[in-house]
């Protein structure tokens, strides 16, 4: 199976788990419970990181040449920070705002990867 496809499937699973957990939180149902919701996200995210590193090595990532990948990594960092704020924000409003912005960051990461440009909508 193609490594890019594996990475894309793992990324989709990671985002799906984030959305499920976020919707539980937004609906004021507390944290999503159960073994799967506790154990799967770190496993999936670790696999996502490993496949991303493997892909970067495979293409011979050069930060000066591959500016789209630099931008994608910045988007991933924004997604991680906003995801943390979405689950640890002090108020419901802060959590919802961070959750929505995290999804915007995911969309940016996706578009950047698909178009291989730091400004995919320009």
Are 21 and 31 in contact by the 8 Å Cβ rule? The answer is yes
Is the pLDDT score of 27 beyond 90? Answer: no
Domain boundaries, the chain: 3-115
CA gap 41, 16 in Å, rounded: 10
Higher pLDDT, 105 or 33: 105
Tell me the pTM: 0.89
Residue 102 has pLDDT above 70, yes or no: yes
Burial class of residue 67, CB neighbours in 10 A (0-12, 13-18, 19+)? middle
Average pLDDT over residues 115-120: 95
If pLDDT is split at 50, 70 and 90, which confidence band does 30 have?
Answer: low
**Which run of H or of E encompasses 70?**
helix 67-88
Is residue 18 a contact partner of residue 83, using CB atoms and an 8 Å limit? yes
pLDDT score, position 26? 82
Q: What residues contact residue 13 under an 8 Å CB cut-off, 6+ apart?
A: 44
Q: 63-99 pLDDT, tens per residue?
A: 899 999 999 999 999 999 999 999 999 999 999 999 9
CB-based contacts of 29: which residues, under 8 Å, 6+ apart?
Answer: none
Average pLDDT of the residues of the chain: 92
């Amino acid at each position: 199976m193609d490594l890019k496809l594996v990475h894309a499937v793992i990324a989709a699973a990671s985002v799906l788990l984030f959305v499920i957990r976020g919707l539980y939180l937004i609906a004021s149902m507390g944290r999503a419970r159960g073994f799967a919701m506790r154990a799967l996200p770190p496993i999936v995210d670790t696999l996502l990181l490993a496949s991303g590193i493997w892909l970067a090595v495979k293409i011979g990532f050069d930060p000066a040449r591959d500016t789209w990948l630099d931008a994608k990594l910045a988007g991933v960092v924004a997604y991680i920070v906003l995801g943390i704020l979405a689950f640890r924000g002090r108020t419901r409003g802060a959590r919802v705002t961070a959750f929505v912005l995290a999804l915007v960051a995911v969309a940016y990461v996706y578009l950047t990867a698909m178009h291989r440009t730091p400004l995919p909508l320009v």
